[in-house]
Structure 1
Amino acid sequence: MFDYIYPMLLCTDVYLPLFIVNGWLFVSTFKYMGHGT
């Protein structure tokens, strides 16, 4: 069971920050484009 949970936690630990950063970049870019027009 531990062998099954650990890779999931590892994937979450790797992908969650990437997801947050991508979301922040998307929102900041969207706001920048909105102010630019």
Structure 2
Amino acid sequence: MALRREPHVLVVGGSDSSGGAGIARDIETISSIGVRT
């Protein structure tokens, strides 16, 4: 049986009160390309 390898994403950042950047935006972007969070 072959092992299933899933890619990993490491997000290093902070927060941005304007909503244009930061971890929240990174998670949105990662989710939009089909990566589970």
Q: TM-score interval w.r.t. the shorter chain?
A: 0.3 to 0.5
Q: Which has the bigger relative contact order, CA under 8 A and spacing at least 6?
A: 2
Task: Give TM-score, length-normalised by structure 2.
Answer: 0.36
Bigger proportion of residues as helix: 1
Larger Rg: 1
Task: Give TM-score, length-normalised by structure 1.
Answer: 0.36
